[in-house]
Structure 1
């Protein structure tokens, strides 16, 4: 197998003009299948990281009164943030799979049309 030839063809395909509407439609369908999972994942990840940070600040006494109650509340808040970050990837995988299943038929048909030409 000539890997240089494969690489050259792949690179040429990347730079070849793709102004056909079918290729553009295929890219849009692919993005539409993946976008909801990405948006949800980034949002949940950022919120969970912020919740963890608030919990750490409460536990270390940077915010709050520095009492035992603030410490316990900080630990509980931090655990909630850790749980949010822990479930983020499995939720992402499930949402991505659902999005792919939803648009799989359309993407496969369009890809078959493009590859036949």
Structure 2
């Protein structure tokens, strides 16, 4: 009585990776403290960047409009063009200090939360190393 039993096993790393990627899309999102800390830090930088870009862009447009007034309508808008251009240049000049101001303001606002999370993470890593 001989039975011919065969065991067939096939493994594809590529297929397994694809299965895991699809499965990960449907699992509930779990956010650890490090991810939360990264998001908070990124949020601070994004807000400051957006504010400075908006101010820099508006100032650049003002500067360009002032130059246009000077070059194209020199008989009627020469002096207003100079004033508008100077206002635009000042705005361009303060875009970076505004970035630093908003960055500092947002960091001070979120600092307690970041420090709390970092302390918890450091305590956790110390306990794991013991």
TM-score, normalising length from structure 2? Answer: 0.65
Counterpart in the other structure of 2:87: 80
Deviations 1:50-69 (A, max 9, x none): 110111111112xxx331x3
Counterpart in the other structure of 1:59: 70
| Cα offset, 1:20, TM superposition | 5.4
Structure 2: 5+ residue stretches without partners? 1-29, 126-130
**SS at 2:88 equivalent:** helix
- Cα root mean square deviation, aligned: 1.7
Counterpart in the other structure of 1:99: 106
After TM superposition, which residue ranges in structure 1, 4 or more long, deviate above 6 angstroms?
A: none
Counterpart in the other structure of 1:32: 43
Cα distance in 2 for residues equivalent to 1:57 and 1:33: 37
Counterpart in the other structure of 1:21: 32
Deviations 1:69-107 (A, max 9, x none): 311121111001011112222222111111001111111
Cα distance in 1 for residues equivalent to 2:79 and 2:101: 33
What count of residue pairs does the alignment treat as equivalent? 95
Contact 1:33 1:102 in 2 (8 A): no
Structure 1: 5+ residue stretches without partners? 1-18
Structure index of larger Rg: 2
